[in-house]
Amino acid sequence: MNEQIVILDFGSQYTQVIARRVRECNVYSTILHFNTPATAIAKLKPSGIILSGGPSSVYAADAPLPDKNLFELGVPVLGICFGVQLLAQFLGGKVEKGLKREYGKGTLTVKDSSCALFAKLPKSLQVWNSHGDKLTKLPRDFKPVAITENSEYAAIENRARKFFGLQFHPEVVHTPRGKEILANFVHGVCGCGKSWTMRNYLDQAVEEIRAQVGKEKVILGLSGGVDSSVAAALLHKAIGDQLTCIFVNNGLLRAREAEVVQEVFGRNFKLKLQYENSAALFLKKLKGVTDPEKKRKIIGRTFIDVFQAATQRAGKAKFLAQGTLYPDVIESVPIAGNPAALIKSHHNVGGLPKNMKFALVEPLKNLFKDEVRQLGLELGLPKEIVWRQPFPGPGLAVRVLGEVTPSRCEILRNADAIVVEEMKASGLYYKIWQSFAVLLPVRSVGVMGDERTYDYTIAIRAVESQDGMTADWVKLPYDLLEKLASRIINEVKGVNRCVFDITSKPPGTIEWE
């Protein structure tokens, strides 16, 4: 078993960020629901426990509270924000509503540099706060080690029991040295080494897959996206030809997408790739349909039919592999004010029906996206796939507004290829969340040479985002926008106008449908 840090989730929007920061220290971390029994936690033999923040007040009647035996496990504990208030309240301190909410940047002054959390750090640190409640009395045997303008107990410790508390958030980027504080906790206090690397995980995952699958056959739906691609490469390494990957061309792919998948997986990796060209079928089913939700449903259903038929052709397999990631399996804590709890997407209509009679192999289900990319690089996948921007399951259908016809798909595909090419040339493609073209259902008048035109409009969309839940439009340089517009209008037949989308999410969405 990996050395690990257990993070108890009290509904903070940053719980996953804490888990990622710990893993960036090369220490494995697991997120558990706040009320997980102490005995279950003990079974995992954690090297340390972190109590997350959360939107509640520890003194509220419905406050989420952990098993009190947690503090008797003899394991180091770090409470963050709500977590420190909880720690204090449980151990005999006092938490009250603060006179002033402490929110945003602050300066932390370390009063006792011998505290292990602040080893090798300066006495003055920029930190980020977000709390209304305040610790007003320390529990017995605790002492303050750092203060901020508004808080005399910004960091506290009980050195003998290895209990620590931070009122600010060390996990967020606005606390620039916060990762070092967390590293001090996991390495310095909890004594963890640095064994969690994707190099190590690769060997471990290969063993686990072999143990689970034995001599059976596995099928995987390969979309060419990061997750299914990494899952495919990993499984192939583990079980070679026992794996068959099914790639469905739904006619809604971007330029060269089908070719790249065939090149990388078929020719380079030499894995068993079953290529299903179902473009004509999807486009036939989409004929005359303009409603966005209807499009999604048709595509989802058609995909299932095509995939089911393809699995039969692939031969009898016991297992279906999926590129499920850790954030998909964490049980989110349903506490009012925790945006993570509200996020259930309308997107996954392409999921497979539960009645498909396969056992599941999910070799990425303990990994965050950045780890999956790292693993992809370890497996030798090209940057083009590992750092691919997200692409919606229904593909270009939700970017061809109005009816999806072969010719309108072709217009969008050509315009989109120019956006991708120029974004890559500018160096921005791999720095932002998504950049793409959208074909609008309006036509407008233009002049080209001596001719009057009446053609389509392309919208250019470029957004920055952490997870797709919220997004800001990217201020692309004017000369890049100019180049994009000029190339699209000159090179793509049927387009005579380009516009740039400057809507953020919310209130807009990233895609136009």
Residues that bind ligand XMP (CB under 6 A): 296, 347, 390, 392-394, 398, 434, 468, 505, 509-511
Strand partners, 498: 458
Task: Name the phi and psi angles at 118, rounded to 5.
Answer: -105, 20
Q: d(Cα 470, Cα 342) in Å, to the nearest integer?
A: 13
Query: Are 445 and 497 in contact, with CB atoms under 8 Å apart?
Result: no
CB 344 to ligand XMP: min, Å: 12
Q: Among the options 169, 187, 257, 498, which is catalytic?
A: 169
- The angle subtended at Cα 312 by Cα 308 and Cα 316, nearest 5°, is 125
Nearer to ligand XMP among residue 102 and residue 513 (C-beta): 513
Residue 88 DSSP SS3? helix
Q: d(Cα 464, Cα 504) in Å, to the nearest integer?
A: 9
CB 79 to ligand XMP: min, Å: 33
What's the residue count for the chain?
513
Q: Is the dihedral of CA 40, 44, 49, 53 positive or negative?
A: negative
- The angle subtended at Cα 254 by Cα 237 and Cα 495, nearest 5°, is 170
Nearer to ligand XMP among residue 150 and residue 503 (C-beta): 503
Q: Among the options 3, 102, 157, 171, which is catalytic?
A: 171
Active site residue 169: yes
- Helix, strand, coil % in the chain, rounded to nearest 5: 35, 25, 40
Active site residue 81: yes
CB 423 to ligand XMP: min, Å: 15
The radius of gyration of the chain from alpha carbons, rounded to an integer in Å, stands at: 26
Q: Which residues contact 370 (CB under 8 A, 6 or more apart)?
A: 20
Nearer to ligand XMP among residue 74 and residue 506 (C-beta): 506
214: left (phi over 0), alpha (psi -120 to 50) or beta: left
Nearer to ligand XMP among residue 76 and residue 392 (C-beta): 392
Strand partners, 143: 157
Query: Are 145 and 120 in contact, with CB atoms under 8 Å apart?
Result: no
CB 447 to ligand XMP: min, Å: 34
CB 413 to ligand XMP: min, Å: 16
CB 432 to ligand XMP: min, Å: 11
CB 320 to ligand XMP: min, Å: 18
Nearer to ligand XMP among residue 93 and residue 393 (C-beta): 393
Q: Among the options 25, 81, 190, 409, which is catalytic?
A: 81
Token pair of 475 as six digits: 């201020």
State the burial class of residue 501 (Cβ atoms within 10 Å of its Cβ: 0-12, 13-18, 19+).
middle
Active site residue 464: no
Nearer to ligand XMP among residue 133 and residue 227 (C-beta): 227
CB 339 to ligand XMP: min, Å: 14
In this structure, the strands spanning 472-473 and 451-464 are antiparallel
Nearer to ligand XMP among residue 169 and residue 295 (C-beta): 295
CB 299 to ligand XMP: min, Å: 8
DSSP 8-state symbol, 505: B
Nearest alpha-carbon partner for 385 in 483, 274, 468, 265: 265
CA 45 to chain centroid, in Å, comes to 27
Nearer to ligand XMP among residue 328 and residue 491 (C-beta): 328
Q: d(Cα 26, Cα 28) in Å, to the nearest integer?
A: 7
- Cα of first residue to Cα of last residue in the chain, in angstroms, is 45
Buried b (16+ CB within 10 A) or exposed e, 115-150: bbbbeebeeebebbbbbebbbeebbeebebbbbbeb
Task: Name the phi and psi angles at 339, rounded to 5.
Answer: -60, -30
Nearer to ligand XMP among residue 66 and residue 393 (C-beta): 393
* Residues with catalytic function: 81, 169, 171
